[in-house]
Structure 1
Amino acid sequence: MKYLALATGLFAASSALAETPILTIYTYDSFDTEWGPGPAVEAAFEATCDCDLQFVAAGDGASVLARLKLEGARTEADVVLGLDNNLVAAARETGLFAPTTARADYALPIAWEDDTFVPFDWGYFAFVKNADLDAPSDFKALGASDLKVVIQDPRSSTPGLGLLMWVKSVYGDEAPAIWEGLSDNIVTVTKGWSEAYGLFLAGEADMVLSYTTSPAYHLIAEEDASKAAAPFTEGHYLQVEVAAKLANSDVPELADKFLAFMLTDAFQGVISTTNWMYPAVTPAQGLPKGFETLISPDKALMVPLADAPQIREEALAEWLAALSQ
């Protein structure tokens, strides 16, 4: 009877484990690290859901969408977290995503009305430098300088794609000439943000494509005021990062619950000091001390969501042509 009781107990435990719903979220690499938002978000959501939240890191944001396109309706993802405004239209065209009821009073620089793609943070792209570096204040001056920069590949990285859109939105048909001028300044092009920022911190370049909020990490987490974002008089390109539910999710109600949770203080309150971006919904505690020191662009640039795919193709062709010469 002792062995029967043990076997019965093990069966009951394994059955309970098997019944625990699993929520699979595809995201970008830096989100799911010990210093990123992933661990805190996972613990906070699992405390409310009686579920097992599993993040799957799939490269940078553009790589995440590429993986979803390859997997199609067979994907194991229930939610994707880490696409942005430049990828929303392309993501919608796949037909893989479903509307959600998650809504909030967003604290974004722009109006956001979408029933499928839910913002979770935002920021402005910028070149980060050492604070004492006398950096150019526009792309033409940067191209004419001898400064070395590291950027990310727009085919795999959302910051890399944002840079293409930034240049294109400022210069339009002159963009190829801008890239020709910048080609000598680019030390290397990395697959994702983490690799590029690491090279900058290692002293391999004078500046790195990142965000106006990146210096807050050094200031708050490291008590180091030696990094700054270079203000560009032409304006800075806006990024809004979003999450969405997959239409073929096996746990659609759980996916909706996560998207709604994403807009609460439990999620939004950790974004500023783990993802080092502005929260999409202002948490009760507000922004951490140190964010008031960041540069605030005079002009916010953004290509309309619906126009992004066509402009991306044109800008990518111009970028590849300039860097291949």
Structure 2
Amino acid sequence: MKFPMIAAGLAMASMASAETPELIVYTYDSFVSEWGPGPAVEKAFEAQCECDLKLVGVGDGAAMLARVRLEGARTEADVVLGLDTNLTAAATETGLFANHGMDDVAFDLPVEWSDPMFLPYDWGYFAFVHDTTKTPDVPQNFKALADSDLQIVIQDPRSSTPGLGLLMWVKAAYGDEAPVIWEGLADNIVTVTKGWSEAYGMFLEGEADMVLSYTTSPAYHLIAEEDATKAAVAFDEGNYLQVEVAAKVAHTEESDLADEFLTFMVSDTFQSIIPTTNWMYPAVTPETGLPSGFETLANPSSALLFPAGDAMAVRDAALDEWLNALSQ
């Protein structure tokens, strides 16, 4: 008589599983890594929502948008997390995202925020990171970097948000002179990786003197590894600001659950996870403040940023300049 009981138990378990709502969030690979925010975010949200949160790593931010655009209304994603202001205008044009309806969030950002569709969850400045024990004297601007013999690793702007951020950074700082800067930097570039993780790994393995990353990246080494040898450079021209955002997919069948996740994303629980897992500044400062060590980070003299609408227009010209310089 055990077999019918077993069958009944399996059927009940299957029904329970079917009744558990599932929320699929597309994000970038480092977010879902074991050292990224993903595991802690998943545990905390599932305790609240009584749902199954599936965080799906789909490359870097630009690659993520390309995938959602390709999948269209058939996408499995309910929420996309990991775009930034260089991509939001292009994302809006797809018609695949819905308004978040959250107008009362007290964001702590270097810029005013009023986008009705994309909700910030963290921010930081792009910067070149170096090892102070191996490369103590580093250039303080792009022209000096181009004139140096230092080797750098950057990311591909067609697949990576930092890579695209670098293009916008050079364009914002130098305008029509940007092609000259890229021509000078071409022989400094060791390689161009698809995403951030590969580039930073090469730097840590000693394959380059500097890597395109963030002013907050040294906080990881300082706090997690007790290693104070990594530093980011605040450039004379200013550093380009990145605000990372998430949005609900318009065609989701889990609209209420997606809304609940976005609300959770700007809560103290989620925001307190960000500094020491994603190693960025939280979009809403947690009640406990920032972890000790963040006060030591490089502080750019000015924040460079193209408005979202302008960024889309600038992107194509900046990409052509970059490709032309690197193909010489």
Q: Select the residue among 302, 311, 314 that pairs with 2:314.
A: 311
1:284 corresponding residue in structure 2: 287
1:113 and 1:105 map into 2 onto residues whose CA distance is 11
Matches within 5 A, 1:91-240: 91-103=91-103, 104-132=105-133, 133-240=136-243
Partner of 1:246: 249
Match of 2:263 in 1: 260
Point out where structure 2 has 5 or more consecutive residues left out of the alignment: none
Q: Matches of 1:137 and 1:267 in 2, distance apart? A: 35
| TM-score, structure 1 as length reference | 0.98
Letter paired with 1:241: E
Distance 1:167 1:6 in 2: 65
Secondary structure at 2:187's aligned position in 1?
Answer: coil
Deviation at 1:2? 4.9
| One-letter code aligned to 2:73 | A
The CA distance in 1 between the partners of 2:8 and 2:76, in whole Å, is: 32
Q: Any residues of structure 2 matched to 1:17-28 within 5 Å, and which?
A: 17-28=17-28
Q: Secondary structure at the match of 1:184?
A: helix
- C-alpha separation in 2, matches of 1:268 and 1:2: 49
One-letter code aligned to 1:4? P
Q: Which amino acid aligns with 1:125?
A: F
Quote the offset at 1:7 in angstroms: 2.6
Q: Is the 8 A contact 1:102 1:256 kept in 2?
A: no
Q: Tell me, in whole angstroms, the C-alpha distance in 1 between the residues paired with 2:40 and 2:100.
A: 23
Q: Which residue identity lines up with residue 223 of structure 1 in the other structure?
A: E
Q: How far apart in 2 are the matches of 1:15 and 1:213?
A: 46
Could you tell me whether the CA contact under 8 Å between 2:234 and 2:301 is conserved in 1? no
4+ runs of 1 displaced by more than 6 Å? none
The whole-number CA distance in structure 1 between the counterparts of 2:8 and 2:78 is 33
C-alpha separation in 2, matches of 1:108 and 1:52: 31
Contact 1:123 1:212 in 2 (8 A): yes
Contact 2:123 2:282 in 1 (8 A): yes
Q: Counterpart amino acid of 1:138?
A: N
Map Cα deviations across residues 91-150 of structure 1 (whole Å, 9 max, x no partner): 000000001134510000000011210000000000000124211111011000100000
Identity of aligned residues (%): 69
Could you report, residue by residue, the CA deviation over 1:199-242 in whole angstroms, capped at 9, with x for unpaired residues?
A: 00011110000000000000000000000001211000000000
Q: Give 1:10 deviation, angstroms.
A: 2.1
**What is the aligned partner in structure 2 of residue 67 from structure 1?**
67
Cα separation, 1, equivalents of 2:138 and 2:72: 44
TM-score scaled by length of structure 2: 0.98
For residues 218 and 262 of structure 1, the distance between their equivalents in structure 2, rounded to whole angstroms, comes to 25
Give distance in 1, aligned partners of 2:269 and 2:181: 43
Equivalent in the alignment of 2:7: 7
Give the letter for the 1:27 counterpart: T
Q: Which residue of structure 1 lines up, in the alignment, with residue 37 of structure 2?
A: 37
Question: In structure 2, how many angstroms separate the alpha carbons of the residues matched to 1:310 and 1:135?
Answer: 33
State the Cα RMSD in Å. Answer: 0.9
Listed as ranges, the gaps of 5+ residues in structure 1 are none
